[in-house]
Structure 1
Amino acid sequence: MYKLWISGVRRLAVTGSEGFVSSGTGAGAGSGSLEVIVPDAGAAIRWACHGYPNSLAKWHYHPQFEIHLIREGTGQLMAGDGLLPFEPGHVALIGSNLPHNWLSDLMPGERLVNRDVLCHVRPQTIRMLSSAFPETSGFEQVLRRASHALVLSGGSARDVADVLVGMGDHSPSRRVADLITMLSVFEQAPAGESRTVVTPEYNPAVAVGAESGVNAAITYISAHLDDVSLEGAANAASMSVSTFSRFFKRVAGVGFADFVRRLRVGRACRMLICTDMPISRIQRISGYDNASNFNRRFRDETGMTPSAYRKMHAMR
């Protein structure tokens, strides 16, 4: 069920890329676009923040594992073959070479300045830590779970978020302590506050070299969400319709129509909460010409009608 809440929505200009270096495409173990992350001199931990849209916010992978916080907006996390709604306060641990991307539900012209806060560390750094300090041996299991995208909620997510944001102002030695604290939270999180996104059957090898097609399709879908078509997405990815349909389901983990529906409902949710637009107009902007179809699709994702959804959030 697709449940959303909005906190501190802002419409501001986007910031720069905060020191990341991105290559074109990479073949390696992942199946997205390879991101080359250059650490600070003499440091094993790389901390950064950036906004959205951003050239780095695409379907990509890297050798480092990543602790990631979403501070603004709602949308969908794509990781491997998994798809999971996110909201402000979303915290995830992404494993080494696991393709991932956070797609925000944006209204036309909207930009989020402070959406992302993250840090990167190579897995071998944590393994050396565990070797030197047996007390941290549980981190190995955390990294194994991160290979399927480990997401926290509740108090565990808030604890990691507070430490990750504060890390930006800390000295290199303090950042080591911050990292250990965050990994400890991931290790000790209750079962009800910890889940993985990627299915056990996921095989990164099935989509090696797929990054250009995936990113082209996502760009097209995001730009044409109100009148998107399977044919248009296939053309953007330079594939036949039948080939693209099979390709997208294999790589994204859901069919094209289901993916588009989730993005459309996500956009409608934001407009219901953040604007006073009539529901009929929100319906059209979200890509639905028929009110009954819009209500049915919205109810399938949220469990309630658009009017009930707006009323629920108006009372908060």
Structure 2
Amino acid sequence: MAVTIIDVAREANVSPSTVSRVITDHPRISVKTKKKVREVMERLQYYPNFQARNLAARSTQTIGVVMANSATLAFQNPFFPEVIRGICTKAHAGQLGIYLSTGGTEEEIFQEVVAMVQGQKVDGIILLYSRVDDKTLNYLREMNFPFTIVGRPYEYENQIDFVDNDNRKIAQDVVNYLVELGHKNISFIGGDLKFVVSSDRLEGYQSALANHELTYQNQYFIHDFAYEQEGKEAIRHLMTQENPPTALVAHDDSVAYEIIRFLEELEIRVPEDVSIISFNNHALSEHVKPPLTSVDIHIFELGIKATELLLDRIKQPEREAVHQFVDTTLIVRNSCRSLNPREK
């Protein structure tokens, strides 16, 4: 015979309503009572009927997570598993499920989000990207559906919840670091400008050059499309110019790993011949050869805070938009060298 909430209440010497509140983690129930009731639930092997409770509350107890690419492509970038780990950690603490988008194109992603909303499959959505003129984002705004973004919105910034790093500033910081090491010919590689993070980092790079009275040169910028299509040849062309760069700023660590591989094939040494610096500080970055200097953007924390924002939006749908910026840390390793005479 199945154990009921009444059985748990009787065994724990509390009311059934108290057991119900423990299940929903109600803040007015003491920690001591929660511990006692949960121990009884575990001992009696009582499993709450969340489906029935969700129907009664008109809630799915599920949040949607939408990536910019298909799951197969996205998980090739270490950013996504780590940010999803942060989301899942917070969701698990609140006994929430995750509905992960698997759309392979912009249109498929849009249709999947429409199905989530119209089919009432989720209570809210986290977008793990911010794209220029994104119809998925515009649809969520028009539907007044709870959502938040990991990234700065391209439009309606004051109307949308988001969590991000200050990508303009961190790009300025890495250029400043390279200039302090004596570099003047600094290249920027990668980053699809359809995404706001890429345009923000490029803007920060250009701004820092201007602050140091260094001229931005188009031949020092390799767009994400050109990089992906040409790969090794794009790097070869960059490094065989009359005045090749002495330092490369890579859009993220995944790009940096590929650049280091191409440079090795071209018999160009890092950092002896060219320095390289990047963003994201993936776990592999300290193990590549040479260990990669990278900006730690605290990806796990981005996932945690994005989930917190979404849950708060679900509870308070009419509150004003909230923006949170996660601090970053420059992790200096061995992929950059000084060109200053006393420091070589």
Shorter-chain TM range is under 0.3
The TM-score normalised by the length of structure 2 is 0.21
Considering fraction of residues, name the structure with more helix. 2
Considering fraction of residues, name the structure with more strand. 1
Q: Which has the larger radius of gyration?
A: 2
The TM-score normalised by the length of structure 1 is 0.23
User: Relative contact order (alpha carbons < 8 A, sep ≥ 6): 1 or 2 greater?
Assistant: 1
